[in-house]
Amino acid sequence: MAAQHGANMIEDERAEGYRIIGGRADGGLVILCDHASNAMPAGYGTLGLDEGQLQRHIAYDIGAEAIAERLAAALGVPALFTRVSRLLIDPNRGEDDPTLIMQLSDGAVVPANKDLPAAEREHRLARFYRPYHAAIDRVVGACRASGRPPLIFSVHSMTPAMKGVLRPWPVSILWHNDFGLARLLLDAFRTAGPWMVGDNEPYTGGLEGDTLWQHAHPHGLPNAVIEYRQDLVAGAEGQAVWADHTARILRAILAAHSNARLKDYAS
């Protein structure tokens, strides 16, 4: 997307731990992709894991980055992406969350994370985690200052099964204490196609300290997480199909609720 300039534009930006795709500050929407990348910075190797483990969902959300990119392009709104693996440090956790740096993830022991020295933990926070969150703060702040408070839409993907239990939902909506946007999304996805839509399944969006907790709740911004099932969005074709569905739905929500007072819808 060509960079555009102006008071109401968020600029493209690229740093070591995150990147921003620019877009309209007054577009009513900020897209987040916390688990975009399975990349490891120089010096970290594979954290002691077999290379193949870095291709699995434990390292990143398969398909999520491409869908978030497509949404940002389709809607002309800013999107933020991490550029390192969640195995290094998980941005979708509070700094005090015990799963911030996983020692064991879905059966895989992460050798380099075991008995992690406090100084290395602090280093990862300062080098990767906090710059990403500071960037979200800046973008959300600029969008709020535009006069049109943004919805915050967080793009993730989930495995087709966990611990032997199949997940029947191609897409799930997760939410915490703000059901307004989630309800609109659930209604729209259920109307759009012959598929099941998870409502706070396979797990709840109510995680204190997570990204939406940090950046949407304090400002009262409507927010939701979407989880795409990875078997459907691992390839470019599925990514395009599901990004199209989602863009159409978000566009309709933004048009119908231009003041973004979606909490009123829930009450």
Q: Which residues are at the interface with Zn ion (CB under 5 A)?
A: 35, 61, 156
The strand ranges marked E within 92-229 are: 104-105, 108-109, 151-158, 161-162, 165-166, 171-174, 197-199, 223-229
Report the nearest approach of Zn ion to the CB of residue 47 (Å).
18
By DSSP bridging, strand 104-105 and strand 108-109 are antiparallel
Min CB(156)–Zn ion separation in Å: 3
Nearer to Zn ion, 61 or 178 (CB): 61
Using the minimum distance from each CB to Zn ion, give the nearer residue, 10 or 59. 59
Indicate the residue whose CB is closest to Zn ion: 156
- Looking at beta carbons only, is 146 or 157 nearer to Zn ion? 157
Structure tokens at 51: 């290379």
Instruction: In angstroms, give the least distance from the CB of 144 to Zn ion.
Output: 25
CB 157 to Zn ion: min, Å: 7
Give CA separation, 217 vs 208, 223, 224, 238, in Å.
10, 8, 11, 31
**Residue of 48, 172, 54, 163 whose CA lies nearest to 111:** 48
Closest distance between Zn ion and the C-beta of residue 71, in Å? 15
Cβ–Cβ under 8 Å, residues 172 and 227: yes
User: Which of residues 35 and 93 has its CB atom nearest to Zn ion in the complex?
Assistant: 35
- Burial code (b: 16+ CB inside 10 Å, e: under 16) for 72-86 equals beebebbbbbbbbbb
Q: Which is nearer to Zn ion, 146 or 223 (CB)?
A: 223
